[in-house]
Amino acid sequence: MVRGRQGRIKNYFAENRLFAIRSIVAGFIAGTLLLAVAGRLFYLQVLRHEYYATLSQGNRIRTEPIPPSRGLILDRHGVVLADNLPAYQIELVREQVGDIKSLDATLSLLVQIGLLRREEVANTRRSILVRKVYESVPIKLQLNPEEMALFAVHRYQFSGVDIRTRLARHYPLGATAVHAIGYVSAINEQDMNQIDSDEYAGTSLIGKLGVEAAYERQLHGKRGSREILVNAAGRPVEKQGDYTPVLKTRPPLAGDDLILGIDVRVQKVAEEALLGKRGSVVALDPRTGDVIALASTPGFDPNNFVRGLTVAEYSALQNDIDKPLLNRALRGAYPPGSTVKPLYALAAEKYDIISPLQTQYCPGFFQLPGSSNKYRDDKKHGALDMRHAIAESCDVYFYRVAQKLGIDRMHEFMSTFGYGDLTGIDIPGEKAGLYASPEWKRRVFKRKADQVWFPGETISMGIGQGPITVTPLQQAHFAAEIAERGQIIATPRLVSGIRAAGSNTVTPRNPVFMKPIDIATLEQWEVVYDGMLGATSMPGGTAYAAGLGSKYKFAGKTGTAQVFTIKQTENTRAKILEERKRDHAWFIAFAPAEDPKIAISILVENGGFGASAAAPIARKVLDAYLLPNDAPPEAKKSL
């Protein structure tokens, strides 16, 4: 029993030694941790002082983007077509507004006070959500004084919403050349998926059409930034107590100015000549491809897109029966009518099926062998050679040419000049024309019966009818090819030069030339020239009236493209009473005939005869360009 009690007596010596060991270890760990904390404090407060001071300063200093000034657009003489004016707009910063519920409440309040339309809320909300939370997003553009006063009264009700001054796009000439210049409009969700959102921070508008869209990168410039001091609510302040930071600013780089080949004076003459009509005028410099005029009527005022259209306003434009939003010059596809005849005459020479001096008799109609169907002409021309057939636009003569050529040779020859293809102009939206062939029918149609190519289709193609379409731009390009005898073929372009921001030096853009068309001899081209010159200068020529009194020689070709098919037993003139069923009127030309400086195409939708509806317009435009001192007074007014 004594031994048992002694075994339970504590070993104070061992316990003290264990406690001492544990104390040393704990002290070592605690010392190590204290040293680590001290080291970290030294690292943060001494070694990384400048870095974390900058971060802490960032809690009250906000970096705000400075959008660049958009480049100007000018005509060839320096007339400003697009510039920038100061404007006020309402902008919203999402991180200062709060959560999604707060954002919806803010937008609803803007609707209640009349600064935002209810139908705009969904698009505005999407535009805000695709931007970064710290970005200032425009939600109401170009405020008028009444709207600014209204917001000022309710300013206290908003957090993260304020009025900012920005440069807004302005088109001083309104609708003039709108389909060439294009317009800018608010950046939407689709745009945000295609651009660098950081580079466009603070920018509210982007090019949507024409030159504005095609040259967006050059026009936009490079954004800058500036630091601003803000309080706890995110409001800009000058200082906080005694704290006055050194704020940095990086200035933006303005976009480049673009110099167009357009001559505004000629453009205005073209648009005034088309006033009240649906149509297009395209004028090119055949040596460089520069677009001298590109008109499509009716048009619209691009300034309305800058401020923002209502749903009703946009719907009215989109549903207008006259289609003002349609760029007829690039996207209007029409049968070319008799404007194709000069090239068919050249093909007849090349393939030696009819010599230029060989006469063909025109009884006023043409019949295919074994067919009772009559392809009528507008009159009985009698005997004509090739030059007179072009000048007088004899359908029967070219029915025979088409019959002898055959569709395969016709397609091969016309494709060489670009029929059925794009011109490659430097703005988006161009529509390719069509030049059909048996192979095309086999590819397009599913039913065997629809794939058959009929001789009558070849005959119709011989006068520019049937499955053949062109745009006014392509027609002007073809006229330029004829003017240069196929040797100088420049791709059409609107922008001829670029000027850096703040510079007076214009850097010209070199024309882009295509491969020459070596398809005929100079003697064969001369026959075509003589025929087109005869159309404007020879009694009996289809455009003789338009050429009377001209101070220069110009070669041209009229065209009348059928829109509504008339039965052979019906009276043509009596039947086509409805204006929109009348024929389209065409005229192509180049001048001066001996040294072409301008090639032109005119289209008047449902205008009737090219000689009476289109050729007089061409004469006005040619005079304005070649005889500027003789231009009508309204064309000389200050722009």
| Radius of gyration for the alpha carbons in the chain, expressed in angstroms and rounded | 37
How is 453-521 classified by DSSP, letter by letter? PPHHHHHHHTTT-SSEEB-HHHHHHHHHHHHTTTS--BPPBSEEEEE-TT---EEEPPPPBPPP---S-
- 52 in any annotated domain: no
Residue ending a domain, choose from 260, 291, 315: 260
**pLDDT in the model for residue 241:** 55
Do residue 283 and residue 241 come from a single domain? no
56 in any annotated domain = no
Domain membership flag for residue 274: yes
Name residue, tokens 């030059």: 387
Neighbours of 313 (CB within 10 A): 12
Domain of residue 177 covers 62-260
- The pTM for the full model equals 0.83
For residues 199 and 216, membership in a common domain is answered with: yes
Query: What pLDDT, on the 0 to 100 scale, is given for residue 572?
Result: 46
Strand partners, 544: none
pLDDT score, position 235:
60
Under a CB-based contact definition with an 8 Å cutoff, are residues 171 and 292 in contact? Answer: no
Confidence of residue 473 (pLDDT cuts 50, 70, 90): very high
Residue 352 belongs to a domain: yes
Q: How many domains does the chain have?
A: 2
Beta strand segments in 209-286, E? 224-229, 249-250, 257-260, 279-284
Same domain? 286 vs 395: yes
Side-chain-side CA neighbours of 136 within 13 Å: the count stands at 23
Mean pLDDT, residues 218-246 taken together: 72
pLDDT at 571 over 50: no
Domain end, chosen from 260, 282, 311, is at: 260
338 is catalytic: yes
Q: Which of 204, 296, 338, 537 is catalytic?
A: 338
Residues 540 and 629 in one domain: yes
Question: Is 244 found in the same domain as 171?
Answer: yes
Tell me the pLDDT tens digit for each residue of 144-199.
Answer: 888 899 988 888 888 889 888 888 899 999 999 999 999 999 888 788 888 888 88
Q: Do 193 and 112 lie in a common domain?
A: yes
Do 175 and 219 belong to one domain?
yes
The CATH number assigned to the domain holding 76 equals 3.90.1310.10
- CATH number for the domain harbouring residue 373: 3.40.710.10
What does the pLDDT read at residue 199? Answer: 86
Structure token digits, residue 165 = 């001054």
pLDDT tens string 523-538: 999 999 999 999 999 9
Q: What share of the chain is helix, strand, coil (3-state, %, to 5)?
A: 40, 20, 40
Among candidate residues 260, 291, 322, the one where a domain is terminated: 260
- Compute the distance between CA of residue 169 and CA of residue 181 in angstroms, rounded to an integer: 12
